[in-house]
Amino acid sequence: MSAESLTCAAGTGRTTASSITDVTEVTPTLPDDHNELISDLCGIVSDYPHGSPSATLGLLADDAADALDRIGTPQGRRERTGYTILLHTTCWYVAARVFSKSLFASYTQALEGLRATLDPASCTCPAGAHPTDVDGEYGVEAGVSMLSEAGRAVFAEEYELEGEELAAFDCEAFLAGLADGAAARMREAHKELFGGVDVSHLDVRFLRDDGGIDIVALQEAIRRSWEDNTGPVALWSARRWLAGQVRDEERIGLFLSLWMGIAQTYGGLPPSYARDLVAALDTIGPDASCEHPQHPWSATTHVQSRYEAVVHLYAPEDYPDTPVPVELSARELWECPAHYAELARGAREVVQQWRHMRGGEEDDW
Ligand SMILES: [Zn+2]
Ligand SMILES: [Zn+2]
């Protein structure tokens, strides 16, 4: 198969040698803007977007919605097929990578609009005739190709599709299945990204029998990076902090667990988390100053040394090693308001980077 010749090969280093056949034949070609669309969307579905993925996807959803006005025409039906496939193929990216309510709304609206024009009962396809795995770069190629007559010709040639196989892409039951699946995924993701996250089930893991906070347990959870605990630990810590359910001696440990949960979530956390994290950080006055030349956290440089510093602070006998030198280890230095202010400032900057990286309006956060 030589589908790469359509499109996605540019920049991916893949060979396109197989497509250079029968050069003497006049082959149908895609419009330039469709080639560009394939290239942009392939970058997005491969998780290596160029340009602004949220702008590209917003435009895609708008174009899909516009196509609804033409649904009574043959061209409108071609577009319905193409856009339904494209929204299906790209929705995972919107759900997982872009924290933007307006983009969610555009996708949901377009999907619902398309779905309303589809009648699954009209399917007369033989069993197993519906296209499968219209995902990833193939899904992008299929979707964009379906938008135009010329694109369909290119696609049919590339994948050696016969008339019926090509026609199955237009089947309303097939398309309705894609639209329903994508809409369900968007609904689920909307809850996760913008709704409320319940972390109360973590109380049993992070509270000791006497009601105190088990700082070492929080640190161990963060340390198990393969479990993706940073977000839940940060949120649990933030809620505890905001509720004032923290003893004096636990404060710095809880705050550092919040800090590490933020700083060590490299892909960013969605607004459903960030709201309470920022609220907790905002309880710290930004302007505290002191005479100390340095604070203990400045002695930590990486993930492992942060962990060692905190567990040593709370269980020095079990964890004798710490990167914090004796001259920086006084409790008064740990608890210095300027130390908290430094930590809060750094964590706020990280959250700000998430917003920048994940998009979305200020209100979404
Ligand atoms: Zn069918
Ligand atoms: Zn200080």
- What lies within 8 Å, CB to CB, of 125 at 6+ separation is 168, 171, 173, 174
Distance 158 CA to ligand 1 centre (A): 22
Whole-number Å distance, alpha carbon 289 to ligand 2 midpoint, is 7
DSSP tag of 244: T
Q: Is the dihedral of CA 314, 336, 341, 244 positive or negative?
A: positive
> Could you say which residues of the chain have pLDDT below 70?
1-26
Query: Which amino acid does the sequence have at 55?
Result: A
Give CA–CA dist 109/246, Å, rounded. Answer: 44
Gap from CA of 170 to ligand 1 centroid (Å): 8
Measured from the Cβ of residue 130, the count of other Cβ atoms closer than 10 Å reads: 17
Centroid of ligand 1 to alpha carbon of 35 (angstroms): 28
Distance CA 41, CA 343 (A): 39
Domain spans, the chain: 3-194, 200-364
Give per-residue pLDDT as tens, 80-121: 999 999 999 999 999 999 989 999 999 999 999 999 999 999
CA-CA distance, 177 to 118, in Å (whole number)? 10
**Ligand 2 centroid – CA 215 distance (Å):** 23
Phi, psi of 207 (to 5 degrees): -110, 140
- Nearest ligand by distance to the CA of 178: 1
- pLDDT tens-digit readout, 262-291: 999 998 999 999 999 999 999 999 889 999
324: CA distance to ligand 2 center in Å?
A: 15
Instruction: Starting from the CA of residue 174, give the closest ligand.
Output: 1
How much is the pLDDT for 13?
Answer: 38
Distance from the CA of 288 to the center of ligand 2, in angstroms?
A: 8
**How far does the centroid of ligand 2 lie from the alpha carbon of residue 264, in Å?**
24
DSSP 115-140: HHT--GGG--PPTT-S-----HHHHH
pLDDT at 25: 59
Q: Which residues pair with 207 in a beta bridge?
A: 213
Residues 144/38, Cβ–Cβ less than 8 Å: yes
Which listed ligand is nearest to 172 at the C-alpha?
1
DSSP 255: H
Task: Could you list the beta-strand ranges (E) of the chain.
Answer: none
Residues 281/294, Cβ–Cβ less than 8 Å: no
The CB-based long-range contact list for 23-30 (8 Å cut-off, 24+ gap) reads 27/154, 27/157, 28/150, 28/153, 28/154, 28/157, 29/150, 29/154, 30/6, 30/144, 30/145, 30/148, 30/150, 30/151, 30/154
Give the dihedral of Cα atoms 143, 145, 148, 154; nearest 10 deg: -160
Residue 29 β-bridge partners: none
pLDDT at 20: 47
Taking a 5 Å cut-off on Cβ, the residues next to ion ligand 1 are 123, 125, 171, 173
Ligand lying closest to the C-alpha of residue 333 = 2
Residues in the chain: 365
Tell me the CA–centroid distance for residue 327 and ligand 2, in Å.
13
Question: CA 77 to CA 230: how far, in whole Å?
Answer: 46
Q: Given this model, what pLDDT does residue 359 score?
A: 78
